[in-house]
Amino acid sequence: MTIRLLDFEKVDSLRSLAIFHGVAYAMKPDDPDTITLTRPLDPFVSIGHHQDARTEVDLEFCDEAGVPVYRREVGGGAVYLDEGQTFWHTIFHKDRVPKTLGEVYTRFLAGPVLALNRIGIPAVHRPVNDIQVEGRKVGGTGAATIGHSMVVAGSLMFDFNYELMSRVLRVPSEKFRDKVYSTMREYLTTINRELGDSAPERSEAERILIECFAETLDAEVVRDEPRQDELDAIEEQEERIASEDWLHLDGLIPSGDSVKIAEGVNVSEGVHKAPGGLVRATVAVTDGVIEGIVLSGDFFVEPAEARQALQDALVGVEHDDDAVLRVVKRQLSDVDAPGVDATDIVAAVMARPQSG
Amino acid sequence: MRRVSPVWIERPPLMESYRGCHVPPDRWYDLDGDLWVKFEGDLVRLGMTDVAQTRMGRMVSILIKKPGRRVKTGGSVATVESAKWVGPIHTPFAGEVVETNMATFSEDILIANRDPYEAGWITVIRPDDPDSPHRPLLGGEEALDAYMARIDELDISCFRCED
Taking the C-alpha atoms of residue A194 and residue A132, their distance in angstroms, rounded to an integer, is 12
Interface contact B86-A143, CB threshold 8 A: yes
**Closest chain B residue by Cα to residue A149:** B87
Bridge partners for A80 per DSSP: A45
- Give contacts of A143 with chain B, Cβ < 8 Å: 84-86
Question: Which pLDDT belongs to residue B55?
Answer: 93
- Give contacts of A129 with chain B, Cβ < 8 Å: 84
Summary mean pLDDT of chain A: 93
Q: How many CB pairs under 8 A join A and B?
A: 75
% of chain A beyond a pLDDT of 70:
98
The shortest CB-CB distance from B84 to any of A49, A143, A253 is to A143
Interface contact A355-B57, CB threshold 8 A: no
Taking the C-alpha atoms of residue A176 and residue A294, their distance in angstroms, rounded to an integer, is 9
Distance from CA of A262 to the nearest CA of B (A): 11
- Give contacts of A251 with chain B, Cβ < 8 Å: 63-64, 66, 102
Give A207-248 pLDDT, tens digit per residue: 999 999 999 999 999 999 999 999 999 999 999 999 999 999
Give A260-282 pLDDT, tens digit per residue: 888 888 888 888 899 988 898 88
**Closest chain B residue by Cα to residue A143:** B85
**Best interface-test mutation with A: which of B62, B84, B100 has the largest number of A CBs within 10 A?**
B84
The answer on A227 and A268 residing in a single domain is no
Distance from CA of B65 to the nearest CA of A (A): 9
Chain A contact for B55 (CB, 8 A cutoff)? yes
Q: State yes or no: pLDDT of A296 exceeds 90.
A: no
In a domain, A170, yes or no: yes
Question: Which pLDDT belongs to residue B15?
Answer: 62
**Closest chain B residue by Cα to residue A144:** B86
HEC per residue, chain B: CCCCCCHHHHCCCCCCEECCEECCCCCEEECCCCEEEEEECCEEEEEECHHHHHHHCCEEEEEECCCCCEECCCCEEEEEEECCCEEEEECCCCEEEEEECHHHHHHCCCHHHHCCCCCCCCEEEEECCCCCCCCCCECHHHHHHHHHHHHHHHCCCCCCCCC
Q: State yes or no: pLDDT of A259 exceeds 90.
A: no
Question: For the sheet containing A289-297, what is the strand order?
Answer: A258-262, A265-274, A277-286, A289-297
**Best interface-test mutation with B: which of A20, A50, A252 has the largest number of B CBs within 10 A?**
A50
Q: Taking phi first (over 0 means left), then psi (-120 to 50 degrees means alpha), and beta for anything else, what does residue A275 get? A: alpha
Distance from CA of B63 to the nearest CA of A (A): 6
In a domain, A48, yes or no: yes
Q: Dihedral of CA A163/A164/A166/A172: which sign?
A: positive
Distances (CA, A) of A339 to A176, A298, A349, B158: 25, 11, 17, 47
The total of structural domains in chain A comes to: 2
Question: Highest mean pLDDT: which of A57-61, A97-101, A329-333?
Answer: A57-61
CB B107 within 8 A of CB B115: no
**Closest chain A residue by Cα to residue B59:** A356
In a domain, A14, yes or no: yes
Q: State yes or no: pLDDT of A356 exceeds 50.
A: no
CB A31 within 8 A of CB A59: no
Taking the C-alpha atoms of residue B122 and residue B57, their distance in angstroms, rounded to an integer, is 16
The answer on A210 and A154 residing in a single domain is yes
- Give contacts of A249 with chain B, Cβ < 8 Å: 63
Q: How many residues does chain B have?
A: 163
Question: Which pLDDT belongs to residue B17?
Answer: 86
Q: How far is CA B34 from the centre of its chain?
A: 6
Interface contact B154-A145, CB threshold 8 A: no
CB A3 within 8 A of CB A35: yes
The answer on A274 and A233 residing in a single domain is no
Last residue of a domain, one of A198, A222, A247: A247
| Amino acid identity, position A90 | T
Closest CA to B148 of B51, B78, B43: B51
| Amino acid identity, position A175 | K
Query: Which residues of chain B fall short of a pLDDT of 50?
Result: 1-13
Last residue of a domain, one of A247, A273, A290: A247
The answer on A167 and A65 residing in a single domain is yes
Taking the C-alpha atoms of residue B86 and residue B104, their distance in angstroms, rounded to an integer, is 20
In a domain, A356, yes or no: no
- Give contacts of B64 with chain A, Cβ < 8 Å: 251
- CATH assignment of the domain containing A285: 3.30.390.50
Q: Which one is predicted more confidently, A125 or A354?
A: A125
Taking the C-alpha atoms of residue B25 and residue A219, their distance in angstroms, rounded to an integer, is 44
Taking the C-alpha atoms of residue A227 and residue A236, their distance in angstroms, rounded to an integer, is 14
Return the domain boundaries, chain B.
7-154
The answer on A157 and A301 residing in a single domain is no
Instruction: Decide: helix, strand or coil at residue A206.
Output: helix
Chain A contact for B110 (CB, 8 A cutoff)? no
Buried b / exposed e across B148-157, counting CB within 10 Å, b at 16+?
bebbeebebe
Distance from CA of B154 to the nearest CA of A (A): 6
Interface contact A100-B61, CB threshold 8 A: no
Nearest 10 degrees: Cα torsion A7, A12, A13, A16? -20
Q: What is the CA radius of gyration of chain B?
A: 15
Last residue of a domain, one of A247, A272, A296: A247
Q: State yes or no: pLDDT of A158 exceeds 90.
A: yes
The answer on A173 and A145 residing in a single domain is yes
Question: For the sheet containing A79-81, what is the strand order?
Answer: A69-71, A44-47, A79-81
Q: State yes or no: pLDDT of A148 exceeds 80.
A: yes
The domain made up of B7-154 is a member of CATH 2.40.50.100: yes
Distances (CA, A) of A98 to A104, A110, B154: 5, 14, 9
Question: Which pLDDT belongs to residue A322?
Answer: 93
Interface contact B85-A49, CB threshold 8 A: no
Interface contact A251-B86, CB threshold 8 A: no
DSSP 8-state class, residue A72: -
CB A356 within 8 A of CB B60: yes
The answer on A226 and A78 residing in a single domain is yes
Chain A contact for B154 (CB, 8 A cutoff)? yes
Average pLDDT rounded to a whole number, residues A16-35: 97
Q: Taking phi first (over 0 means left), then psi (-120 to 50 degrees means alpha), and beta for anything else, what does residue A118 get? A: alpha
Quote the domain boundaries for residue A13. 2-247
Bridge partners for A57 per DSSP: A169
**Closest chain A residue by Cα to residue B60:** A356
- Give contacts of B62 with chain A, Cβ < 8 Å: 50, 253
Interface contact B85-A145, CB threshold 8 A: yes
Chain A contact for B156 (CB, 8 A cutoff)? yes
Question: Which pLDDT belongs to residue B127?
Answer: 96
The answer on A206 and A127 residing in a single domain is yes
Distance from CA of B96 to the nearest CA of A (A): 17
| Amino acid identity, position B146 | A
Chain A contact for B62 (CB, 8 A cutoff)? yes
Distance from CA of B141 to the nearest CA of A (A): 24
ipTM, 2 dp: 0.86
**Closest chain A residue by Cα to residue B82:** A75
Mark out the alpha helices in A119-221 (DSSP H runs). 162-168, 174-187, 191-195, 202-217
CB A320 within 8 A of CB A243: no
Instruction: Decide: helix, strand or coil at residue A318.
Output: strand
CB A262 within 8 A of CB A189: no
How many C-beta atoms lie closer than 10 Å to residue B11's C-beta?
A: 11
